[in-house]
Amino acid sequence: MSESTAKQQEVVGVAERLFSERGYEATSVRDMAEALDIKPGSLYAHIETKENLLWEIVTNAADRFFAAVKPILDSDLVTIEKLRRVVAAHVTVITDSARSAAIYLTEWRHLSEPRLSRFRARRDDYEGLIRGLVHNGIQEGELADMDEKFATMLILSSMNWIHQWYRPDGPMTPQEIARKLTEMLLNGLRRATG
């Protein structure tokens, strides 16, 4: 790895940390330079703009989400099993890279056009993948007849909140979180009868 590539990765890492802790708007170029122990002007040798860093972080996070679910969606598994595994894969992306996931889920609003529209389109494409599974599950009789859009938003919202409370040293592993979340989403919270 070249020295410039290593420095670029360091800059992105610092941006991830600061954007996730303080938020994009509350993080200045000066803050990033101080964290890197360089002069603010020197930071521009490694970045064009602060927004470029945000774009790189959210784009890389989106790539990870798509890469995690694509093999599952392309598999011959039955729909309900695909949905279980997609939930587990999504949870894993969040727990493996909580900072970048948090930025992807909350700070994207600070992108300017045309990046904002490109981000929204990509996010909508991902939502469409989940909605497709919900649709197929309903059509196949595995899921109750329900509002597909609402069900999709429930699934995504449940998963996307994880970055707020997950801790690597917490009481549940990512696998346990995915299993419990999937059980609750697919089976509900009612006590089984009979």
| Contact between residue 12 and residue 97 where contact means Cβ atoms under 8 Å apart | no
Q: Is the pTM of this model over 0.75?
A: yes
Average pLDDT over the chain, rounded to whole? 94
| Contact between residue 99 and residue 16 where contact means Cβ atoms under 8 Å apart | yes
Per-residue pLDDT of 97-153, as tens digits, reads 999 999 999 999 999 999 999 999 999 999 999 999 999 999 999 999 999 999 999
pLDDT of 194 = 57
What does DSSP assign to residue 110?
A: G
- Supply the DSSP string of 127-168, one letter for each residue: HHHHHHHHHHHHHTTSS-S--HHHHHHHHHHHHHTHHHH--T
Cα–Cα distances in angstroms (integers) from residue 184 to residues 59, 82, 106, 126, in the given order: 30, 16, 25, 22
Range list for CATH 1.10.357.10 in the chain: 49-187
Cβ-based burial of 46 (10 A; exposed 0-12, middle 13-18, buried ≥19) = middle
- CATH superfamily assigned to domain 49-187: Tetracycline Repressor, domain 2 (1.10.357.10)
Range list for CATH 1.10.10.60 in the chain: 1-47
CATH topology for 1-47?
Arc Repressor Mutant, subunit A (1.10.10)
Residue from 168, 10, 19, 44 nearest 102 by CA: 19
Per-residue pLDDT of 36-66, as tens digits, reads 999 988 888 888 999 999 999 999 999 999 9
| Contact between residue 63 and residue 119 where contact means Cβ atoms under 8 Å apart | no
pLDDT of 7 = 86
